[in-house]
Structure 1
């Protein structure tokens, strides 16, 4: 391995660690709180409430996964795993794709809070787009994008066996779409019976409902994973049917 490639790997690791440092840095110094008073009732239009009912569970779960990943240094672990296979361009592209996806999702899944209105910023509103645009140029997002580019540069000159046929890649896309459809099939009924108070503060995803603390306080939440398992175990879900994967035994 050349010195330039090694320097690229070290720089990628440092860049991937920056979001984790930024996550924990506020806890190192003095913690400050903020209290405000707002209205319990939402002033959103019916269209906004319908869109948020569809998107909020997915945003909450994606935000939870991205937050946990950043908090525990998963981007840095991915860089280290790719470095362990530094001769593989495929491993480099996969690591770079993960880092770029985390960077893109990070500003999209954060529930932005308007302290003046004492309420969560409505999705797809002008203020929401402004908040997202402001986060795109932030340090953690740029650091993850830089790490993705450095990983690609460090592995792009390596030779790998030819990639599989395009039909396999198309099948992977259809599987991902089927998973997304089935997620909404399970999440939407749960969202419809949710407390409006939860919706006014960013909503609750499926993953948060199956945490031990939630199950102890509300045993009825146990129905969520049970229903989800009963739905997916027969492997005849709506997503599989819509995407034409009913006969795919390798799914």
Structure 2
């Protein structure tokens, strides 16, 4: 082993110029790779699918949310790289609030569309931003991910506090500072505390005499004004959630609570 090392060392010393050129080329190649190789935990893949999470103001009604979601879908389908999409709104295991929705965008094959999924997102963003009253956050679907939930953006930052009031106070301030950074785009928060609310006082003595439990009152209110999913209708291509609620004419005013 020592003799072999001596032989290679003599050859290097005999070709010092070539050795220096190889070292310089290696250094230059390393710098070029550092500049051009994508950085990040996982490189962004182009799987041909884009996931969009829509968000409207917390006070939006279900019909208004449906109209705005459909407008987003119409804008997306006009793009020449889009083959089809599926859209969903309403409360389920993923959408925890009625003002959020999901759109899965299926792109044409890469050879046919000629642009990457990230390029399609950048092309759609200005047109989708023109849709009033709703925002769509898009990112390419990845085969390999470490996320445990559907998020609006590529990176997530979680803040926690034992004091809910303190969290409600500081979360918007942090979001405002992040949005001011030029390096970031599509900054969002899943804090949803700006919706309309009404407080009800239960006459527990009268309810007890009539045999009505607080749970029964809560279930009745949710059946009437919530989004109680009672069944699912399956077809060959789609599935439809059946939601229980009162007629829309009884949802226009808080006075409707008197009629339950």
Q: TM-score range by the shorter chain?
A: under 0.3
Which one has the largest radius of gyration? 2
TM-score, structure 1 as length reference: 0.21
Structure that is richer in strand per residue: 2
Structure that is richer in helix per residue: 1
| Relative contact order, higher structure (CA 8 A, sep 6+) | 1
